[in-house]
């Protein structure tokens, strides 16, 4: 046993030293404990694109003698509901649970702090920005699996056409370049739509947390903040109103789809896939889908750029967009075998498994895996494959911003997004809609004991 | 021929209620009823009472300590709801939805039953077709219709483009615009309600005594007059059965709303059910959600009670 | 049946009625055709523009994927588990609900006793309680007695939910049976129970079948309660199982359609087999006071 442990430690050390070379195989971790006879239960996110991880589990079972039982496979939001109910009733009898940086704050009373189970070296492999986002009051509650963040996706044909560029110059007196600011996006998206170059100028998910998040992103990129330091709602400031008015204007002018408010991620992606959208923010996770010539007309016809900076109304506080999140693993406080659960997490977040997942297009959260995938992509057929990864590494490293880490994020979102929808659809003015949302939010936060 | 016409046999005999002279059998009937009542008490009444208690507390699912009752703030949840614009809005939407759905389902089923009574070709297959919507789980109805009415890839818009009514995709945002959102949900619900209602009304139509119609024809009554003054009144008991079954089942429409619009956008189609789910499950405010559940339960009970009284009355009149 | 005088005018009208009826009912059935077509068409034809109305070829891929016959697809939905749970929860609850509901319905139809009306109304109104109002307290209570995420717990709820309708239907049915039959049975020395068991129950079998179908389908299609009470595949039935096709980003429409087809099978069988019974059971039993 000791020898095996020593060997693994040695290999790990070698790997981390020589990671840049990346010639050697990525290594598993968490196999250094005898777990014979133990059944580890896991509740996790499901779906075809997560297969690789479940395949790897048999390696873990063989090496440790443990049996891994998947007790739930759900999409993120269903899992969130399940966890809430299970935690509240003490029914969370599993050792590993799905977690997400956007949700972790509400679970913390029911999760096991993990910092004592992981060595500093083990934690050093992960992106510090994500671990920061997962550390609440000094306790680390999750180990990240993979991250996602949104770059600008734009249709190349619109930016490579001299006639369109000349027309744009005539109309606006400016060069047509890939946008870097929200104001440029506004100008170009409107131009493309008004002149019939593109059916739609922009798209965004228009309901639930997806809409709240996209607003939050435009708002903080424009220098705003949803809440002030006393957790008073602050999104109805002039920045918030400007962002909401921008969206409402897009809706009434047909820059965004007429059914925006019923779109979730798959709906917005469908529009871009059909080559109907000029510019948009979209998660990196969609890349393989968009590049699939069988399913998407936009395949081969789009480029990526770093997230936009917000409206200039924010002055110096303007920053790049980068609403981000990371899927992750946690151990419930009620886990029957927490140590075994930790071992499974170490394995599932190991360089090898993370690397195999990254090959599917997920953005890694480990620096060693970043090195590997970028090296792998250096001779890819499509240069965008590598550019994408380099861009993503910059964004995850520098622009990564989670929603406010409050347990009330989803209740807040449920209050907020219908009001924003009403603004977008023109039912109320931006100021009135956001004021109403702020008043309700304040009441909810007061009930939760913030003031 | 499906509807048996026992009553028609007594032809012109005045129709009175044939009240059954029930037997006095001491404790025996209570023994028969006891198991049913026990299950209902355990699984429905007791949980409801528990939720009544919860509705007087500030209980939040993720805060186990918040399940405590204090007289001072017992009515806080109800107070909150009565001052909550969204609650009133969802109540209004629910009433509009129910009123339109129930009435239109009834009218369409009535028309359809008249039509089907005249069909001579392929009756059996036609009735199987009529029952197709019965085969769908409500949640499946919601998924199908959401897909049909999708603005971008939905069948309805695609069809309208194919026949040249629309020029491009996404032109009509069925699930978004006022009042299209409400209308699409209502269409889906009506579609689901039609089979059972039509079957009952059709059986009613087929059991009507033909002598009455012949007499009316002799008197020179028009088709509409025959319907208005003979068919419709004689169908009353069937109508109330259909409406009662529907009022008992109306909560199934919740699945449809939840899948199709989930109360959105901008709460345009928010109903009591979607609002409860949002408050209680997503926001984990069990106390507030329970208070609203109780208001909803009271309304449902009143609604059903109304139809029941009508049903009893109609039976007596017959 | 409405009698018609025969003549050329009538004949033309008949044709019109037939055509109109067929047209309307075909439209009504359209969603079912579409769902079946979606389940059998190649994936690439789904959600495309311009739309593909008629599939170019038919394929069983979606079903193969679902039942694990396709070696390329490893992660798949637990359709066997949904089927098992659906059958157990619906089957058990139907048997018990129909038994208890029939007993209660018989009592209401035959006997005079105190609280007759209020008991009847009370039972009926329990059906009017929306599932969403019931699911939350049920979850909290079931959690204490280990019935959460348990098919038997689910069946218990469905029993309670289906008793009222059964009792109502059977009440009407038993009242339809000529009283003289029962009375002669008593004269022959039958007790209350054997009169019920030997004489009246067999006569009410069509009503029983109707009640059973409604109870079964109600349980089979129920979503609000199972979505709260079932936490994983140990207790999930088909309706929450449909969401297994919704992944984080995408929806597998074809897979969902394929499972829907399987899910609708019992309903189709019932409707086709007992169509006649269903109609007479619903009305014959319920109307004539």
Say which CATH number the domain at C192 has: 1.10.3720.10
Residue C119 tokens, joined: 């008991």
pLDDT-based confidence at C63, cuts 50/70/90? confident
Answer whether residue C272 shows pLDDT above 80.
Answer: no
Strand, coil or helix: what is C236? coil
Mutate which of B1, B22, B36 to test chain C, going by most C C-beta atoms within 10 A?
B36
Can you give the CATH number for the domain in which A80 is found?
A: 3.40.190.10
Tell me the ipTM for this assembly. Answer: 0.86
C73 touches chain A (CB under 8 A): yes
Mutate which of B145, B176, B179, B285 to test chain A, going by most A C-beta atoms within 10 A?
B176
Q: Quick one: A36 and A126 in the same domain?
A: yes
Is there a domain that residue C258 lies in? Answer: yes
DSSP string, C16-46: HHHHHHHHHHHHHHHHHHHHHHHHHS-GGGT
Mean pLDDT, residues A306-323 taken together = 94
Please list the residues that pair with C175 across neighbouring strands: none
Q: What's the structural domain count of chain C?
A: 2
Answer whether residue C270 shows pLDDT above 90.
Answer: no
Q: Quick one: A216 and A167 in the same domain?
A: yes
Write b or e for each residue in C114-124: b if 16 or more Cβ atoms lie within 10 A of its Cβ, otherwise e: eeeeebbbebb
Q: Quick one: C116 and C249 in the same domain?
A: yes
Mean pLDDT, residues A331-344 taken together = 95
| Tens digit of each residue's pLDDT (9 = 90 or more) over A36-50 | 999 999 998 865 556
CA nearest to A296 within chain C: C48
Is there a domain that residue B17 lies in? Answer: no
Q: What's the structural domain count of chain A?
A: 2
Full residue range of the structural domain in which residue C27 is found: 8-59
> Dihedral (C-alpha) B256, B261, B267, B270: value to the nearest 10 degrees?
0
**Nearest CA-CA distance, residue A114 and chain C, Å:** 26
Using omega within 30 degrees of 0 as the cis cutoff, is the peptide bond preceding A26 cis?
A: no
CB contact under 8 A, C130 and B30: no
Is there a domain that residue C218 lies in? Answer: yes
> Judged by CB atoms within 8 Å, which residues 145-164 of B form the interface with A?
150-153
Answer whether residue C256 shows pLDDT above 90.
Answer: no
Is there a domain that residue B186 lies in? Answer: no
A285 touches chain C (CB under 8 A): yes
Q: Quick one: A35 and A68 in the same domain?
A: yes
In terms of Cβ atoms closer than 10 Å to its own Cβ (0-12, 13-18, 19+), residue B159 is middle
CB contact under 8 A, C287 and B241: yes
Q: What's the structural domain count of chain B?
A: 1
- Which of B62, B170, B270 faces A257 most closely, judged by CB atoms? B170
pLDDT-based confidence at C136, cuts 50/70/90? confident
Q: Quick one: C166 and C265 in the same domain?
A: yes
**Nearest CA-CA distance, residue C71 and chain B, Å:** 29
| Tens digit of each residue's pLDDT (9 = 90 or more) over C274-283 | 676 666 666 6
Cβ neighbours of A56 in C, within 8 Å:
none
**Nearest CA-CA distance, residue B78 and chain C, Å:** 15
pLDDT-based confidence at A424, cuts 50/70/90? very high
What distance in Å separates the CA atoms of residue C28 and residue C135, rounded to the nearest whole number? Answer: 32
Please list the residues that pair with A181 across neighbouring strands: A309
Percent of chain A topping pLDDT 90: 67
Full residue range of the structural domain in which residue A57 is found: 2-148+325-399
Is there a domain that residue B161 lies in? Answer: no
Instruction: Say which residue, B222 or B78, is predicted with more confidence.
Output: B78
pLDDT-based confidence at A6, cuts 50/70/90? low
Strand, coil or helix: what is C130? coil
A299 touches chain C (CB under 8 A): no
Q: Quick one: C257 and C158 in the same domain?
A: yes
Can you give the CATH number for the domain in which B290 is found?
A: 1.10.3720.10
Answer whether residue B18 shows pLDDT above 50.
Answer: no
- Which of C49, C108, C157 faces B169 most closely, judged by CB atoms? C49
A139 secondary structure, DSSP code? E
Q: Quick one: A362 and A433 in the same domain?
A: no
Q: Quick one: A118 and A190 in the same domain?
A: no
Mean pLDDT, residues A353-366 taken together = 88
What distance in Å separates the CA atoms of residue B291 and residue B276, rounded to the nearest whole number? Answer: 9
Q: Quick one: A389 and A414 in the same domain?
A: no
Q: Quick one: C53 and C83 in the same domain?
A: no
Q: Quick one: A183 and A283 in the same domain?
A: yes
- Which of A51, A71, A86 faces C74 most closely, judged by CB atoms? A51
Instruction: Say which residue, B138 or C269, is predicted with more confidence.
Output: B138
Give the pLDDT confidence score for residue C250 in this predicted structure.
64
Q: Quick one: A52 and A119 in the same domain?
A: yes
A205 secondary structure, DSSP code? -
Cβ neighbours of B25 in C, within 8 Å:
110-113, 192
Give the pLDDT confidence score for residue A21 in this predicted structure.
44
Answer whether residue B170 shows pLDDT above 70.
Answer: no
Residue A86 tokens, joined: 């299970």
**Nearest CA-CA distance, residue A77 and chain C, Å:** 8
pLDDT-based confidence at A4, cuts 50/70/90? low
Q: Quick one: A157 and A280 in the same domain?
A: yes
Mutate which of A43, A51, A75, A272 to test chain C, going by most C C-beta atoms within 10 A?
A75
Q: Quick one: C184 and C145 in the same domain?
A: yes
pTM of the entire structure?
0.83
Cβ neighbours of B172 in A, within 8 Å:
258
A227 secondary structure, DSSP code? B
Structure-token match 């047909």, residue found? A254
A429 touches chain B (CB under 8 A): no
pLDDT-based confidence at C199, cuts 50/70/90? confident
- Which of A48, A55, A294 faces C44 most closely, judged by CB atoms? A294
């Amino acid at each position: 046993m000791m020898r095996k442990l020593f060997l693994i430690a040695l290999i790990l050390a070698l790997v981390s030293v020589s990671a840049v070379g990346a010639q050697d195989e990525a290594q598993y971790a968490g196999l250094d404990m005898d777990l014979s006879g133990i059944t580890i239960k896991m509740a996790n996110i499901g779906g075809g694109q997560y297969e690789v991880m479940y395949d790897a589990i048999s390696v873990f079972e063989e090496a440790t003698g443990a049996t891994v039982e998947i007790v739930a496979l759900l999409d993120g939001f269903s899992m969130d509901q399940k966890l809430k109910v299970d935690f509240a009733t003490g029914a969370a009898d599993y050792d590993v649970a799905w977690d997400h940086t956007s949700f972790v704050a509400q679970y913390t009373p029911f999760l096991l702090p993990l910092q004592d189970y992981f060595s500093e070296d083990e934690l050093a492999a992960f992106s510090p920005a994500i671990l920061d986002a997962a550390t609440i009051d000094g306790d680390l509650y999750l180990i990240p699996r993979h991250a996602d963040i949104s770059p600008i996706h734009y249709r190349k044909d619109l930016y490579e056409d001299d006639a369109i560029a000349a027309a744009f110059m005539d109309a606006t007196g400016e060069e047509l370049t890939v946008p870097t600011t929200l104001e440029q996006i506004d100008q170009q998206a409107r131009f493309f739509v008004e002149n019939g170059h593109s059916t739609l100028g922009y798209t965004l998910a228009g309901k639930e947390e997806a809409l709240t998040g996209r607003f939050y992103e435009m708002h903080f990129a424009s220098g705003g903040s949803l809440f002030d330091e006393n957790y008073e709602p602050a999104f109805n400031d002039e920045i918030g109103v400007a962002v909401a008015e921008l969206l409402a204007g897009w809706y009434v002018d047909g820059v965004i789809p007429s059914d925006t408010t019923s779109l979730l991620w798959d709906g917005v992606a469908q529009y871009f896939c059909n080559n109907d959208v000029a510019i948009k923010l979209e998660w990196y996770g969609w890349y393989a889908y968009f590049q699939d010539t069988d399913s998407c007309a936009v395949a081969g016809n789009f480029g990526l750029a770093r997230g936009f900076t917000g409206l200039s109304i924010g002055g110096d506080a303007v920053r790049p967009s980068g609403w981000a999140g990371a899927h992750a693993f946690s151990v419930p406080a009620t886990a029957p075998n927490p140590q075994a659960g930790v071992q499974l997490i170490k394995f599932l977040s190991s360089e090898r498994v993370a690397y195999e997942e990254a090959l599917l297009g997920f953005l890694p959260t480990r620096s060693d895996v970043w090195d590997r995938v970028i090296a792998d992509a250096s001779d890819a057929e499509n240069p965008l494959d590598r550019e994408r990864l380099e861009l993503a590494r910059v964004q995850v490293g520098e622009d990564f911003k989670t929603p406010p880490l409050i347990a009330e994020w989803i209740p807040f979102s449920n209050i907020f997004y219908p009001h924003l929808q009403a603004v977008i659809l023109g039912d109320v003015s931006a100021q009135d809609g956001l004021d109403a949302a702020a008043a309700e939010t304040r009441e909810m936060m007061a009930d939760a004991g913030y003031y | 021929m499906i509807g048996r016409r026992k009553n028609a046999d007594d032809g012109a005999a005045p129709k009175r209620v044939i009240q059954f002279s029930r037997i006095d059998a001491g404790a025996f009937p209570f023994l028969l009823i006891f198991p049913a009542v026990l299950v209902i008490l355990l699984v429905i009444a007791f949980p409801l009472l528990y939720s009544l208690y919860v509705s007087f507390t500030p209980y939040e699912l993720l805060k186990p300590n918040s399940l405590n009752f204090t007289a001072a703030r017992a009515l806080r949840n109800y107070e909150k709801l009565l001052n909550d614009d969204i609650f009133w809005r969802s109540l209004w939407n629910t009433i509009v939805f129910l009123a339109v759905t129930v009435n239109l389902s009834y009218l369409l089923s009535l028309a359809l039953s008249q039509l089907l009574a005249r069909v001579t070709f392929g009756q059996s297959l036609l009735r199987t077709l009529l029952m197709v919507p019965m085969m769908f789980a409500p949640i499946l109805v919601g998924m199908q219709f959401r897909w049909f009415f999708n603005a971008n890839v939905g069948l309805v818009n695609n069809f309208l483009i194919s026949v040249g009514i629309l020029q491009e995709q996404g032109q009509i945002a069925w699930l978004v615009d006022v009042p299209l959102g409400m209308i699409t949900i209502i269409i889906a619900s009506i579609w689901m309600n039609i089979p059972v209602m039509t079957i009952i009304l059709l059986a009613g139509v087929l059991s009507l005594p033909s002598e009455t119609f012949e007499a009316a024809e002799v008197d020179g009554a028009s088709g509409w007059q025959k319907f208005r003054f003979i068919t419709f009144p004689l169908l009353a008991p069937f109508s109330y059965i259909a409406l009662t079954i529907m009022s008992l089942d109306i909560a199934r429409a919740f699945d449809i709303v939840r899948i199709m619009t989930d109360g959105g956008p901008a709460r345009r189609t928010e109903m009591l059910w979607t609002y409860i789910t949002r408050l209680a499950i997503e926001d984990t405010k069990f106390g507030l959600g329970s208070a609203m559940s109780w208001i909803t339960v009271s309304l449902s009970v009143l609604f059903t009670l109304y139809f029941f009284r009508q049903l009893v009355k109609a039976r007596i009149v017959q | 049946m409405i009698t018609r005088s025969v003549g050329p005018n009538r004949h033309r009208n008949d044709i019109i009625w037939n055509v109109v009826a067929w047209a309307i009912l075909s439209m009504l059935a359209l969603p079912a055709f579409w769902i079946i077509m979606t389940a059998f068409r190649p994936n690439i034809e789904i959600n495309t523009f311009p739309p593909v109305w008629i599939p170019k070829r038919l394929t069983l891929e979606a079903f193969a994927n679902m039942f694990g016959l396709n070696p390329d697809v490893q992660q798949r939905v637990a359709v066997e588990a949904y089927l098992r749970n659906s059958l157990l929860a619906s089957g058990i609850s139907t048997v018990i609900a129909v038994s208890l509901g029939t007993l209660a319905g018989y009592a209401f139809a035959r006997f005079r006793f105190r609280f007759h009306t209020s008991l009847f109304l009370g039972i009926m109104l329990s059906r009017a309680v929306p599932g969403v109002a019931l699911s939350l307290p049920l979850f909290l209570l079931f959690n204490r007695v280990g019935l959460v995420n348990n098919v038997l717990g689910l069946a218990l709820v469905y029993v309670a939910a289906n008793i009222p309708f059964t009792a109502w239907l059977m009440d009407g049915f038993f009242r339809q049976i000529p009283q003289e039959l029962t009375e002669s049975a008593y004269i022959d020395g039958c007790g209350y129970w054997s009169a019920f068991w030997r004489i009246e129950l067999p006569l009410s079998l069509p009503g029983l079948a109707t009640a059973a179908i409604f109870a079964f389908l109600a349980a089979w299609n129920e979503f609000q309660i199972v979505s709260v009470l079932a936490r994983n595949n140990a207790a999930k039935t088909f309706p929450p199982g449909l969401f297994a096709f919704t992944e984080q980003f995408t929806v597998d429409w074809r897979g969902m359609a394929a499972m829907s087809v399987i899910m609708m099978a019992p309903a189709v069988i019932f409707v086709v087999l007992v169509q006649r019974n269903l109609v007479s059971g619903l009305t014959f039993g319920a109307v004539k006071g």
